[in-house]
Structure 1
Amino acid sequence: MIGFIAALVVFLGFAFFYTQHPKKPAAKQIPVIGLLQLQSHPALDEIHQGFIAGLKSEGYTPGKNIKVDFQNAQADQSNLKTMSTKFINEKADLIGAIATPSAQAAANAAKGKTPIIIAGVTDPKGAKLVKSDKRPGTNVTGTSGESPLPKLLSLLRELVPTAKTIGVIYTSSDHGGEYNAKKFQALAIKSGVKVKMYTISNTNDMQQVAQKMVSEVDAIYAPQDNGVASAMKTLTNVANKEKKVIVASADTMVKDGGLASYAIKQFDLGKVAGQMAARVLNGRSTKTYPVAYVLKGNYVINEKEAKILSVKIPEHIMKDAETKGEIFK
């Protein structure tokens, strides 16, 4: 009996202690996103900024209620692999991948498990990231923004109506760049224009290849290609010496020296991807989440280049750029 009473006293003592000092709930862990970018150039940097803005618009603020581990591979394939593996080993809740090589590296590392949101990938299915755009069927979805090629070809022909041969330059290792370049080539040939294709293996090749190209063509198309975007200023310098017009696929490439574009906003590609990332974190499945296409474009003009090249921009294009697009002075 005495033992029972003693045990009861001990029990009541513990009960009193825990009532007065309740166990603190475990701190809620904030989600972690690994954000992988192929390299730094204006187009990809704008996608990055848009991605963060998209997260914020859905209630996720980096440093407050979500952690974003940003890694820039500086165009190094081995870095892409190492950084992707790091995200998996550290158990990131989701990976954001900017540009096709980043997306492919992340997908290889994730092995179908960790959700991946791609941004700025021209051809997700062709890059073997999804089974179809409407129903990805994998751990990957995100945004794609293929250039409005008919508009770009029409723009080039309006700016250089005498052009008989168009030069198209792309990076041999960039799937998205090659896809965009060859699709433009097919469209141009179908319209009756001759096309000459040129490739670079990296940005160091641009000077030499560009010099050869400007001596053989009447105008140039610069596709959605990371290597070309990174070396845009070199391409422009070479083309300007021979007074050759460059129509570019991205607004940021016009800012870096192209004459004109009819382009979608790279920031918008990132923003939609960031919004999709937030929704996947909240439980939406990538397998049934369609790839989102940003399609709306506007004219973008580099007025300084127009003066250098002595090209008069048609009034309707200038008016559209002023009211809806952008003009770089």
Structure 2
Amino acid sequence: MELWRPRELQLCLGLGLLLLILLCGCQTPFSKPPLVGIILWDQDIQSFENNLQGVIEGLREEGYLDKLNVRLQTINSTGDRSRAANAAEIFQRHGARLLITLGTVPTLVALDVTQGSRLPVVYSGVGAPEATGLQCPSTPESRLTGTSMEVPVAEQLKIFKLAKPRLQRLGILFCSATPEAVATGTAAEAVARRMGLKVILAKVTDDRPELLDQALQTLESEGLQALFLPTDPVLASPKNLESICARLLHHQIPVMVPFASSVRHGALLSYHADSAEVGRQSGRQAGQILSGAAVWNVPPEIPKVKRLTLNLTIAQALELPVSRHLLSQARDLY
């Protein structure tokens, strides 16, 4: 039997390892994995945290694991536009291969900060991409794609009417400081009118308690029977939701919210995208781009999974009977 010399054995093992690395798409031991910067709007809002975990899972499904063949770095903007801009600047300066933005404001800010570059941006958790100026043209110049949280308002209101069968006067409240709230709030108004509902619209410029109090007084004086909150990262904060829902519960008025995690703060229900699943879709898109796909060949997506979350404790407090049909559609109950 012919024995391999140590030098020949080392050479063969080295070539085999190199071939394995190339086949697996991994980085060589002598190079750093590519940096992927994740800009998160507000980690205190549970839907964004779920979104983030979904992104990580989606990347893993495409073969990208943190610290193995990709470097994931997350910056929480804490609901501050300037922090989101600073995060985009940091990632661009450090040579990020790709940005993943969770929320409308981080996406808009990242595109503005990196204007003129070829740095790809993959969004997730965005309420109304096209209405907020986040178009994704299928052209070589495009560097934006992602998955939205957008569930058609007509589908949401159809569910709301099942929960409140004799609903005629619908209140809509949103903060005009965020583009997705304006876009989804305006869309909700138009859809509700087409469905034959009387719409009572109220806006706030920020979440100061006195402004919220004034807006709710206006809605109450107009005789609203239910309140619809569109996709609004300002009013979605636990503090604001609890204030709104507690006050309206006192007047026996149900509230519908856009996020599952918001239902626990006193809302009656939410018909929503699954934040983690949306994140997973975005993570897979990011993985495709990291693997060499052109951004314009990775089309934007809408949620593939929709959920109904019901708060039975609130339904009982509102003395609203929950039909068997509605209950059978709910995935999560409080």
> Which category of TM-score, normalised to the shorter sequence, fits these structures?
0.7 to 0.9
Q: What 5-or-longer segments of structure 2 have no aligned partner?
A: 1-10, 15-27
Query: Cα distance, 1:100 vs. partner?
Result: 0.8
Correspondence 1:33 to 2:40:
no
Which SS does the other structure have where 2:126 is aligned?
coil
Cα separation, 2, equivalents of 1:129 and 1:261: 25
Correspondence 1:213 to 2:213:
no
After TM superposition, list the pairs within 5 Å mapping 1:122-141 onto structure 2: 122-132=127-137, 137-141=141-145
Which SS does the other structure have where 2:151 is aligned?
coil
Partner of 2:289: 280
Cα separation, 2, equivalents of 1:207 and 1:90: 45
Which SS does the other structure have where 1:35 is aligned?
strand
Query: Cα distance, 1:277 vs. partner?
Result: 0.8
Q: What 5-or-longer segments of structure 1 have no aligned partner?
A: 1-18
Q: In the alignment, is the contact (CA less than 8 A) between 2:136 and 2:145 conserved in 1?
A: no
Query: Cα distance, 1:208 vs. partner?
Result: 4.3
- In structure 2, the CA distance between the partners of 1:77 and 1:240, relative to structure 1 (3 Å rule), is same
Cα separation, 1, equivalents of 2:204 and 2:281: 31
Which SS does the other structure have where 1:147 is aligned?
coil
Which SS does the other structure have where 1:123 is aligned?
coil
Following TM superposition, where does structure 1 have runs of at least 4 consecutive aligned residues deviating by more than 6 angstroms? none
Partner of 1:121: 126
Partner of 1:258: 267
Partner of 1:227: 234
1:269-321: CA deviations, max 9, x gaps?
11110111111111111123210111432322111111221111111110221
Q: In the alignment, is the contact (CA less than 8 A) between 1:136 and 1:290 conserved in 2?
A: no
Query: Cα distance, 1:161 vs. partner?
Result: 2.8
Partner of 2:150: 146
State the percentage of identical aligned residues.
Answer: 22
TM-score by structure 1 length?
0.85
- Higher mean displacement: 70-79 or 60-69: 60-69
Query: Cα distance, 1:207 vs. partner?
Result: 4.4
Q: In the alignment, is the contact (CA less than 8 A) between 2:160 and 2:256 conserved in 1?
A: yes
- In structure 2, the CA distance between the partners of 1:194 and 1:290, relative to structure 1 (3 Å rule), is same
Cα separation, 2, equivalents of 1:232 and 1:136: 42
What letter corresponds to residue 271 of structure 2 in structure 1? Answer: Y
Q: In the alignment, is the contact (CA less than 8 A) between 1:107 and 1:129 conserved in 2?
A: no
2:81 to 77, 84, 89: 77
Which SS does the other structure have where 1:27 is aligned?
coil
Larger Rg: 1
Which SS does the other structure have where 1:229 is aligned?
coil
- Higher mean displacement: 238-247 or 293-302: 293-302
Query: Cα distance, 1:135 vs. partner?
Result: 5.9
1:143-189: CA deviations, max 9, x gaps?
11312322221222222233321111112122112111111111111
TM-score by structure 2 length?
0.84
Cα separation, 2, equivalents of 1:313 and 1:30: 52
Which SS does the other structure have where 1:51 is aligned?
helix
What letter corresponds to residue 288 of structure 1 in structure 2? Answer: N
Q: In the alignment, is the contact (CA less than 8 A) between 2:151 and 2:303 conserved in 1?
A: no
* Root mean square deviation of aligned Cα: 2.1
What letter corresponds to residue 311 of structure 1 in structure 2? Answer: L
Q: In the alignment, is the contact (CA less than 8 A) between 1:166 and 1:193 conserved in 2?
A: yes
Which SS does the other structure have where 1:249 is aligned?
coil
Correspondence 1:58 to 2:62:
yes
Correspondence 1:301 to 2:306:
no
Cα separation, 1, equivalents of 2:266 and 2:36: 34
- In structure 2, the CA distance between the partners of 1:297 and 1:277, relative to structure 1 (3 Å rule), is same
Q: How many residues align?
A: 302
- In structure 2, the CA distance between the partners of 1:153 and 1:114, relative to structure 1 (3 Å rule), is same
Q: In the alignment, is the contact (CA less than 8 A) between 1:141 and 1:290 conserved in 2?
A: yes
Q: In the alignment, is the contact (CA less than 8 A) between 1:222 and 1:248 conserved in 2?
A: yes
